[in-house]
Amino acid sequence: MTHVDIKNVRGEVVGSLDLDERVFGIEPNRAVLHQAVVAQLANARKGTHATKTRGEVAGGTHKMWRQKGTGRARQGDRRAPHWAGGGIAFGPRPRSYQQSMPKRMRRLAMRSALSARVAEQALVVIDELSVESPKTREMASVVRALGVDAGALIVVTERDDQVRRSSANLENIRTVTPGGLNLLDVLNYRHVVLTRSSAETITQMALADVRPGRDRGSRVESEHAEPATSETAAATTPAPTRQASRARVARVPHLAPTGSTSSPSEGSGTGVVPFSDTPPVSSGSDVNVRDDVPAAEEASGDIDQLMDDAALESSVPNDVALAEAAEQVAVPDDAEPDVTRPSTGGGV
């Protein structure tokens, strides 16, 4: 917070006030400030200047003399631009100099100007401004007591005719309300005088579009955020899906057998990882097997047939049926599964 002293109309310090740093304590943005000043000066132009062309001035349209034979330069009519009283070439025409700026940029420029005034110690806060009668002498004494007689912009909360009339004849003194506060006045006048209530109103108006963590004076530090625990991370991590498993197999095609949609595993003996949800066994050639089902290249066709028959005749779950069907096939003890070479059978 930015601390400033609160004075009364006699110039005595009666307290202190904490001003919001997002309005009165930021680093002035010179680029936005310059753009806002140029836009305000351009918008103040009426753009009604105009000149007459050769088609608008008074005069005849006849040719001054014939084209050849006179020894003079060839001429047209008297309304040409090089004749006295003729038209103006490329003169100014009525136009609009309007420049638009986003509302957030305009408010940032105002906050930059107010922060610059606070940094220069040119901002004065008073508790209340009132005069007994609309006399210039009373307002002049208040200005001298506050030490802002070199020039000041006085911002009051509500329109007060007595204060306005008292300061109307004072040189370099202007009285406005928060709604009439503009950037050029803040920059042109040497001091800015705010009442306590007008300072609060200006703060609310200037922070209408400021979101926490977006502007320089209101950044939220990252350490205040609660760190994510391992349990929370595990709860929010989605389970692997069938498409993710197929994508892993597609990236390493030589590790998966032909016709199988499972992905390889480093810990399993056969190099085949089952899906989380085992699909039902079909009568076709694409059959999913589990880790505990041995694979034999020599008897791949018999295994397919036995597993299909067992799955159709038995009412037990598919995994048990596949395991029972695989046990009926004699597999040599020294036979090792070959998962790197595609088989010619039904996809085991």
- Return phi, psi of residue 30, to 5°: -70, -35
Give the mean model confidence (pLDDT) for residues 6-33: 93
pLDDT of residue 289: 44
pLDDT-derived band at 28 (thresholds 50, 70, 90) equals very high
pLDDT of residue 311: 57
Q: Which two tokens stand for residue 81?
A: 């631009």
| Whole-angstrom distance, CA of residue 314 vs CA of residue 321 | 7
* Residue 16 scores a pLDDT above 80: yes
Give the mean model confidence (pLDDT) for residues 133-162: 92
pLDDT-derived band at 307 (thresholds 50, 70, 90) equals low
Q: Considering Cα of 253, then 254, then 256, then 257, what sign does the dihedral take?
A: positive
pLDDT-derived band at 188 (thresholds 50, 70, 90) equals very high
Say if strands 13-19 and 2-7 run parallel, antiparallel, or are unpaired: antiparallel
The pLDDT mean for the chain works out to: 76
Q: Are 346 and 301 in contact (CB under 8 A)?
A: yes
Residue pLDDT, tens place only, 51-65: 999 999 999 899 999
Higher pLDDT, 291 or 22: 22
pLDDT of residue 132: 84
| Whole-angstrom distance, CA of residue 169 vs CA of residue 140 | 10
Residues 6+ apart with CB under 8 A from 294: 270, 326, 331, 337
Asked which of 73-87, 88-102, 121-135, 315-329 is least confident by mean pLDDT, the reply is 315-329
Coil vs helix vs strand at 310:
helix
pLDDT of residue 189: 95
pLDDT-derived band at 314 (thresholds 50, 70, 90) equals low
Residue pLDDT, tens place only, 160-185: 899 999 999 999 999 999 999 999 99
pLDDT of residue 221: 39
| String of DSSP letters for 131-168 | -SSS-HHHHHHHHHHHT-TT-EEEE-SS--HHHHHHHT
In Å, what is the CA distance from 313 to each residue of 275, 316, 317, 322?
Answer: 24, 9, 11, 12
- Domain limits, the chain: 2-45+99-214, 242-327
Report the candidate in 302, 305, 307, 310 with the shortest Cα–Cα distance to residue 330.
Answer: 302
Residue pLDDT, tens place only, 192-240: 999 999 999 999 999 987 766 554 444 433 344 444 454 544 455 455 5
pLDDT of residue 144: 93
pLDDT of residue 114: 95
Q: Are 237 and 251 in contact (CB under 8 A)?
A: no
In Å, what is the CA distance from 133 to each residue of 8, 145, 317?
Answer: 18, 18, 99
| The architecture CATH gives domain 2-45+99-214 | 3-Layer(aba) Sandwich (3.40)
Q: Are 288 and 321 in contact (CB under 8 A)?
A: no
Other C-beta atoms lying within 10 Å of the C-beta of residue 81? 13
Matching residue, tokens 């047209």 = 76
Q: Are 45 and 240 in contact (CB under 8 A)?
A: no
pLDDT of residue 24: 94
Round to the nearest angstrom and report the end-to-end CA distance of the chain: 73
CA atoms within 13 A on the CB side of 82: 4
Q: Which residues pair with 175 in a beta bridge?
A: 154
